[in-house]
Chain A
Amino acid sequence: MGFQFQFQPVLNRLDVLLDGLWVTLQLAGSGILLGALLGILLAMLRGLSGRPVRMLVDAYVELVRNTPFLVQLLIIFFGVPTLGLRLSAEQAALAAIIINLGAYATEIVRAGIESVHKSQIEAGLSLAMTRWQVFRHVVLAPALARVWPALSSQFVLMMLSTSVCSFISVQELSAQAANIESETFRSFEVYILVTLIYLALALVLRGLLAGLGALLFPAGSGLGRLRGQAGR
């Protein structure tokens, strides 16, 4: 075969990869933050509202979860401008990430909320807490503690999925990899390197999320004990 690995040409363009990495980090970071927020809000809304709202939220969740992220991305990127709304590739990508993660997060948090016992809510109400106070302290916090591992996995998956945004030429990590590949023709080397970068990112993100979980729901506290109890 005579194939020789040559990483040097690729390493020479490391600055380009770092640019891409930065875009990936921004996309993933803001997407995860906003997507998680959307999910929590919708799960709360669903928990507090009547049937029509519940059905709307469920429809959104089902639609998103049963279609590919790529297609969602393409609809937004190509479709929204036809409505007269100008959208950069980055904005389209961020919107798609938030919408996609929002649906998964809604579903996960909903499961957490539903695992909270009725008696807990009654206990809260009987202590003269308001509905909102009960929801926040008695329902939401334990629910999040329970589903934190499932949420974390979803965040990692979403971070990895940002690579799909290269399809609409967002210059994130894998798009920059393709750029280097077309300049250097060291395809395999580029993608091995970039794969390793993603792997490192995933490990770091998992570590950060585990740390955050321990911080938000400290071991030894009641919430710490719940952490991960109803992982999906």
Chain B
Amino acid sequence: MIRTFTESEFLFILASARWTLLLTVMALLLGGLLGFLVALARTSRLAPLRALAAGWIGVIQGVPVLMLLFLSYYGLSLAGFDLPPLIAATVSMALYASGYLGEIWRGCIQAVPWQQWEASAALAFSRAQQYRYVIIPQAVRIAIPPTVGFIVQLVKNTSIVSIIGVVELARAGNLVNNATFSPFKVFGTVAAIYFVICWPISLLARRLEGKLHARRAG
């Protein structure tokens, strides 16, 4: 039976955006945590830790998000967890985010002038105190614009989890398109919702970056 694309279809798609947003937030939190550890390891004094973190970043940035999803999905079930797809989706998005955020934040940590390390070392700070009180507070300022920018990538990439049956925006669009077969209307709507989510974030990232540059120049 072919249905038409009406308000109820639209609302169904719109409502599915909550899963897109939820996935984004979860991935950002978990991936952020992991990515933070990756960034710390990447700037560690211990060469093996640095190598490990570099390897992690290289692998995550060198494979498709789709593969991370399948590996999480099948890997978790092999490990004996019978979990809803949403969990595998969250895990894969968090892994993905950790590789990119880890690299972004490594750059921010290294952008703090080395003299700041030296000045704090000379004041007898421990390594942990240097990170906690001197380096990270300065790195965070530099990190905000690119991190906000990355959120856009994250939102868009959550669309991929539709393949394992999580009914987020893209999947909802697919379902409605199968029923109504009006692809332009349906996917146009889906695209518009993504755009409404992503564009303001993109603009914000650009504005923050402009501000940061202005402050550094001035």
Contacts and interface: CB of A to CB of B under 8 A. Distances in A.
Chain A–chain B contact at Cβ < 8 A: yes
B173 A199 contact: no
A199 B78 contact: no
A167 interface: yes
Given A62-B202, A164-B160, A188-B74, A75 B191 contact: yes
Given A68-B157, A164-B66, A174-B64, 20 more contacts: A1-B78, A1-B79, A1-B80, A3-B78, A63-B195, A66-B195, A67-B191, A67-B198, A68-B159, A68-B170, A71-B190, A74-B173, A78-B187, A160-B64, A163-B64, A188-B78, A192-B71, A195-B71, A198-B64, A203-B62
Interface string B9-38: 000000000000000000000000000000
Given A78-B183, A191-B74, A66 B199 contact: yes
A17 to B, nearest CB: 13
A80 B156 CA distance: 22
Interface in B43-78: 59, 61-67, 70-71, 74-75, 78
B184 A75 contact: yes
B152 interface: yes
B139 to A, nearest CB: 19
B174 interface: yes
Looking at A1, A78, A82, A167, which has the most chain B CB atoms within 10 Å of its CB?
Answer: A78
A174 to B, nearest CB: 6
Interface residues of A, number: 36
Contacts, number: 108
A194 B191 contact: no
Nearest to A191: B70
Interface of A: 1, 3, 62-63, 65-72, 74-75, 78-79, 82, 156, 160-161, 163-164, 166-167, 174, 177, 187-188, 191-192, 194-195, 198-199, 202-203
A10 to B, nearest CB: 13
B210 interface: no
Q: Kindly list the 6 A-B residue pairs having the minimum CB-CB distance in the complex, ordered from nearest.
A: A78-B183, A66-B198, A202-B62, A163-B64, A68-B159, A68-B156
Contact of A75 (B62, B74, B187): B187
